[in-house]
């Protein structure tokens, strides 16, 4: 600073001093007057130089503060900034610098907020997302990716279909379009994955060249397969009795047109086939009705005990035909279940029907209806309906699939006794709609037990 001051002083005073010395030497100015004038010039110049140097210091201070201020609202580093420069142009300059620095700090803060928002969006995206560098190094993963693939990401990236697709995406000339591939993984669990590859040109500041979004399509694919299977199964189930009916009709119109005994033999079989188709269609319709209303828990109070007693009475002839005894236990008074009476009839009917059809001839079927005991069932109040037979039971490996549509343990036997394989699927959907639980227990040779837990009070937080 003193050097600057000295320089300024010299620059301002040099010319007038030289003129004064010239004038004194030429005799145009008395030496005393010259000295006074010289002193006045030096004093004036010194004052100006000091003001100028101080203003300059303030400008430098303002610049330093601008460089150091991280946020818009940060305080100036010294009191200097609050003091205005003396020279008007300098004052304008310092205030411009201060304003500029504030704007820059605000822009910085906005940028930081935007980056943070981006981070949060990427982190909370429901689909797994990875950012890869040009050399395929993983630069970033979001939460979904970490929880879905964890330490498995490298193995995933080595998956041949995905590896090739990444290679193609990275080699594609700009502007590269997003591409998608679908592939299946078998380990650690089977999964269908849809990968979307988004090449980045220019790359991200951190070197990211490719965004990879991996959507799990396992459920959708399974549903699609199920739907296709369902249509195939339903058509197959209908075609069998229909083909038999068509056959009989042709026989009766042709070779057996005058054959009264044949007609008498065929007609009951035809009626039975027609009845079978009728049952199948009725079951399919009720299944789709339950499914359509499944999101809406029913609310009418239904007294289960009278309902079960009525159905037991209706099944009396079929029970007697197989010499089966049926025993209903549990208290007479039970709280009503918020439910759909028609659907609960179907549920009980299907369970009793199975017990009579598949239970042991001359056996015993125990039906229990009681408040749900604590332990295995949800803590909310509920009732437990159980139907247990002492028939041949069901082998363990079939249990998880019993509630699938058209699933039968013994295709031939079930079909022969008129089963469509939809009964337990209907039971499961009715239980779901009532927000209940179904547990099937069985061991081969030791009978089968079906337990249905139904809540007697609506769930506090209803959506499921
Ligand atoms: N109590 C039971 N004991 C042994 N096996 C059973 C019992 N209940 C059901 N199953 C087996 O589960 C399969 C599926 O039962 P489900 O009620 O869904 O169909 P279904 O009885 O064959 O036909 P539907 O009930 O539509 O007339 C049956 O085919 C049968 O093999
Ligand atoms: Mg059944």
Q: pLDDT by residue (tens digit) across 415-452?
A: 777 678 899 999 999 999 999 999 999 988 899 999 99
Among 190, 216, 242, residue at a domain's last position: 216
Nearest CA to ligand 1 atom 1: 355
Q: Is the distance from the beta carbon of residue 409 to the nearest atom of ligand 1 less than 6 Å? A: yes
Q: Is the distance from the beta carbon of residue 423 to the nearest atom of ligand 1 less than 6 Å? A: yes
Instruction: Give the rounded percent of residues in the chain with a pLDDT score beyond 90.
Output: 53
Among 52, 81, 110, residue at a domain's last position: 110
Based on the fold, state whether residues 350 and 454 are members of the same structural domain: yes
What is the whole-number distance in angstroms between the Cα of residue 356 and the centre of ligand 2? 10
Q: CA nearest 96: which of 84, 78, 110?
A: 84
- Residue 63 inside a domain? The answer is yes
Mean pLDDT across the stretch 116-121? 90
User: Could you identify the residue written with the tokens 């979904």?
Assistant: 144
The structural domain count of the chain equals 4
Q: Are 166 and 197 in contact (CB under 8 A)?
A: yes
Q: Which of 284, 324, 402 to mutate to test the pocket of ligand 1 (most atoms within 8 A of CB)?
A: 402
Q: Is the distance from the beta carbon of residue 394 to the nearest atom of ligand 1 less than 6 Å? A: yes
- In Å, how far are 81, 108, 119, 122, 242 from 115, measured between CA atoms? 31, 11, 6, 11, 66
Q: Are 104 and 71 in contact (CB under 8 A)?
A: no
What is the whole-number distance in angstroms between the Cα of residue 428 and the centre of ligand 2? 12
User: Could you identify the residue written with the tokens 């990968």?
Assistant: 195
Based on the fold, state whether residues 101 and 189 are members of the same structural domain: no
Per-residue tokens: 34: 């010259």
Task: Please tell me the number of the ligand nearest to residue 425's CA.
Answer: 1
Task: Please tell me the number of the ligand nearest to residue 394's CA.
Answer: 1
Burial degree of 17 (CB within 10 A; 0-12, 13-18, 19+): middle
Q: Are 156 and 189 in contact (CB under 8 A)?
A: no
Q: What is the pLDDT of residue 464?
A: 42
Based on the fold, state whether residues 105 and 131 are members of the same structural domain: no
Q: Is the model's pLDDT at 363 over the cut of 90?
A: yes
Q: Are 388 and 359 in contact (CB under 8 A)?
A: no
Q: Which ligand 1 atom is at minimum distance from the Cα of 426?
A: 18
- Residue 229 inside a domain? The answer is yes
Based on the fold, state whether residues 246 and 269 are members of the same structural domain: yes
Based on the fold, state whether residues 252 and 349 are members of the same structural domain: no
Q: What is the DSSP letter of 461?
A: S
Task: Please tell me the number of the ligand nearest to residue 450's CA.
Answer: 1
Based on the fold, state whether residues 402 and 445 are members of the same structural domain: yes
Based on the fold, state whether residues 383 and 442 are members of the same structural domain: yes
- Residue 121 inside a domain? The answer is no
Among 267, 292, 317, residue at a domain's last position: 292
Per-residue tokens: 28: 């145009």
Q: Are 156 and 141 in contact (CB under 8 A)?
A: no
CB-side neighbour CA atoms (13 Å) of 88: 0
Q: Is the distance from the beta carbon of residue 389 to the nearest atom of ligand 1 less than 6 Å? A: yes
Q: Which of 318, 423, 444 to mutate to test the pocket of ligand 1 (most atoms within 8 A of CB)?
A: 423
Question: What pTM did the predictor assign?
Answer: 0.63
How does residue 459 score in pLDDT terms, banded at 50, 70 and 90? low
Based on the fold, state whether residues 459 and 320 are members of the same structural domain: yes
- In Å, how far are 328, 350, 355 from 292, measured between CA atoms? 32, 20, 28
Q: Which domain holds residue 10?
A: 2-110
Return the axis-axis angle of helices 341-358 and 423-433, rounded to nearest 10°. Answer: 150
The larger pLDDT score, comparing residue 371 to residue 148, is at 371
What is the whole-number distance in angstroms between the Cα of residue 382 and the centre of ligand 1? 26
Based on the fold, state whether residues 307 and 416 are members of the same structural domain: yes
Based on the fold, state whether residues 412 and 277 are members of the same structural domain: no
Q: Is the distance from the beta carbon of residue 350 to the nearest atom of ligand 1 less than 6 Å? A: yes
Length of the chain: 464
Q: What is the pLDDT of residue 70?
A: 55
Based on the fold, state whether residues 308 and 452 are members of the same structural domain: yes
User: CATH code at 260?
Assistant: 1.10.287.130
| 94 vs 96: CA distance, rounded Å | 5
User: CATH code at 174?
Assistant: 3.30.450.20
Q: Is the model's pLDDT at 1 over the cut of 70?
A: no
How many other C-beta atoms are found inside a 10 Å radius of the C-beta of residue 454? 24
What is the whole-number distance in angstroms between the Cα of residue 420 and the centre of ligand 2? 7
User: CATH code at 430?
Assistant: 3.30.565.10
Q: CA nearest 429: which of 295, 273, 263, 241?
A: 295
Based on the fold, state whether residues 287 and 311 are members of the same structural domain: no
Burial degree of 297 (CB within 10 A; 0-12, 13-18, 19+): buried
Q: Which of 408, 438, 440 to mutate to test the pocket of ligand 1 (most atoms within 8 A of CB)?
A: 408
What is the whole-number distance in angstroms between the Cα of residue 417 and the centre of ligand 2? 10
Q: Is the distance from the beta carbon of residue 408 to the nearest atom of ligand 1 less than 6 Å? A: yes
Mean pLDDT of the chain: 88
């Amino acid at each position: 600073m003193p050097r600057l001051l000295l320089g300024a002083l010299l620059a301002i005073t040099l010319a007038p001093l030289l003129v004064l010395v010239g004038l004194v030497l030429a005799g145009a100015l008395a030496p005393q007057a010259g000295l006074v004038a010289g002193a006045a010039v030096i004093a004036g110049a010194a004052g100006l130089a000091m003001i100028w140097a101080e203003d300059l210091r303030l400008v430098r201070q303002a610049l330093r503060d601008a460089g150091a201020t991280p946020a818009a609202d940060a305080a100036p580093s010294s009191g200097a900034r609050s003091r205005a420069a003396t020279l008007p142009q300098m004052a304008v300059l310092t205030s411009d610098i201060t304003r500029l620095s504030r704007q820059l700090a605000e822009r910085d803060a906005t940028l930081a907020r935007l980056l943070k928002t981006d981070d949060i969006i990427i982190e909370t995206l429901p689909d797994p997302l990875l950012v890869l560098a040009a050399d395929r190094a993983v630069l970033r993963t979001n939460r979904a990716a970490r929880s879905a693939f964890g330490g498995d990401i490298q193995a995933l990236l080595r998956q041949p279909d995905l590896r090739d697709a990444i290679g193609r995406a990275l080699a594609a000339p700009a502007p590269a379009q997003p591409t998608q591939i679908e592939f299946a993984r078998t380990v650690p669990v089977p999964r269908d994955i849809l990968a979307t590859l988004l090449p980045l040109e220019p790359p991200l500041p951190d070197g990211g060249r490719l965004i990879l979004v991996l959507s799990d399509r396992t459920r959708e694919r399974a549903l699609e397969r199920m739907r296709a299977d369902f249509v195939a199964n339903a058509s197959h189930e209908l075609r069998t009795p229909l083909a038999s009916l068509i056959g009989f009709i042709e026989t009766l119109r042709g070779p057996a047109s005058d054959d009264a005994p044949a007609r008498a033999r065929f007609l009951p079989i035809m009626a039975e086939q027609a009845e079978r188709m009728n049952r199948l269609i009725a079951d399919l319709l009720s299944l789709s009705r339950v499914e359509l209303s499944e999101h809406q828990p029913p609310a009418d109070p239904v007294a289960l005990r009278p309902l079960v007693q009525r159905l037991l009475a209706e099944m009396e002839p079929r029970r007697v035909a197989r010499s089966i005894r049926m025993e209903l236990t549990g208290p007479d008074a039970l709280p009503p279940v918020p439910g759909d009476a028609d659907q609960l009839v179907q549920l009980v009917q299907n369970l009793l029907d199975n017990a009579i059809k598949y239970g042991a001839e001359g056996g015993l079927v125990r039906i229990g209806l009681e408040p749900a005991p604590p332990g295995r069932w949800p803590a909310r109040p509920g009732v437990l309906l159980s139907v247990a037979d002492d028939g041949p039971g069901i082998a363990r490996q079939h249990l998880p699939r019993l509630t699938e549509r058209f699933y039968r343990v013994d295709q031939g036997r079930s079909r022969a006794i008129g089963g469509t394989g939809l009964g337990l699927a209907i039971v499961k959907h009715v239980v779901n709609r009532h927000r209940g639980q179904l547990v099937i227990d069985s061991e081969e040779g030791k009978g089968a037990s079906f337990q249905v837990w139904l809540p007697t009070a609506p769930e506090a937080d209803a959506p499921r």
